[in-house]
Amino acid sequence: MLEEKTPSEFKLVLDKLEDFNDIVRVFESMTDAQVYSYFTGLTDAAWKQTSPSEWRSYIDFLDSQGFKGILDYMSTDEILYVWQFFDERMTAKFIDGLSMADMYAFTPAEWHAAYMGMAPSAFKATFFDKMDTKGIWYVSEILGDMDDFLEGLTVEDWKNMTAAEWECFLAATEIEDLVEFIHEMAKVDLKIVYDMFKFMPLEMLSDFKEAPELSYEFSPLELETMGHAVDVNVYKTEEPLFEDAEEFERPHHKKDHRNRKNKRHHQGKRDERQGHGPEKPRNKKFGKHQ
């Protein structure tokens, strides 16, 4: 039948099938050449008339790379529209079949659709958890403002941050904001504070060392937790965090230290905030260059 019809004409036959499994069986009976001819030969008008059952058959029959090839030509709104037809199994099949190279080859529309369509925890686990700092920075540059993502991260998400995710969070956060973050996280789970200093790059630790008066900002328990974490810092430093703290008087005003150059200017500064309880600074981007 396919030889007698154009792909768009053949699609008119598929349009009549309400069960996507029936459409899948049709594709399974076709040769690879016929399948390729069908998907590459459909007109724009035919694509716009794709039924929910046909979309389900496409994601079910094609491998992830094949279905991504369709998404590559779609806008964010079009991808989100199509995705409403898929169940969890179909989504998992597509995501699980993607390689890191496939993810890095996402179009801006695909990244925005994934960001808008997935819960923050799922987005973190699916993408950021697997990426190095360069990858996270690259994606965040595409996504821009990620306040909703940051607000949606859970305590468990923060307790399971990767080294790359910590670096992207720390590199764009000003010292005074980190001080407040430490206070807030200490009330939630000290492991978050511990991990933050365990994975803090040395150049960021130096910011604290250059402002030992900050030690007066922290409780004994916070300082103890930070000290233990620095001892096992993955970038390892032999120096204590606040070696000369006793030489400084307690500041007369809480914000005295903020007049110092506490806004870091390392290359590739990043920021991120947690979602439950503590309030985060606004207008920040996770992994966003300053």
- Please name the helix (run of DSSP H) or strand (run of DSSP E) that holds residue 115, with its range, or none: helix 108-117
Residue 60 lies in a domain: no
Residue 273 lies in a domain: yes
Rounded average pLDDT over 51-79: 98
pLDDT of residue 262: 41
Residue 27 lies in a domain: no
Q: What is the pTM of this model?
A: 0.79
Residue 124 lies in a domain: yes
Residue 41 lies in a domain: no
Q: What is the pLDDT of residues 241-289, one digit of tens each?
A: 665 444 334 444 444 443 333 434 333 333 333 333 334 433 345 554 3
Rounded mean pLDDT of the chain? Answer: 84
Which spans in 189-266 are helix H? 190-198, 202-209, 220-231
Q: What is the pLDDT of residues 129-173, one digit of tens each?
A: 999 999 999 999 999 987 788 789 999 999 999 999 999 888 867
Give the span between the Cα atoms of 213 and 42, in whole angstroms: 68
Owning domain of residue 141 = 118-290
The vertex-274 CA angle with 268 and 279, nearest 5°, equals 105
Lowest-confidence range among 21-25, 167-171, 191-195?
Answer: 167-171
Q: What is the pLDDT of residues 209-222, one digit of tens each?
A: 787 788 889 999 99
Number of domains in the chain: 1
64-71 helix and 88-96 helix, angle to the nearest 10 degrees: 100
pLDDT of residue 211: 79
pLDDT of residue 4: 77
Residue 29 lies in a domain: no
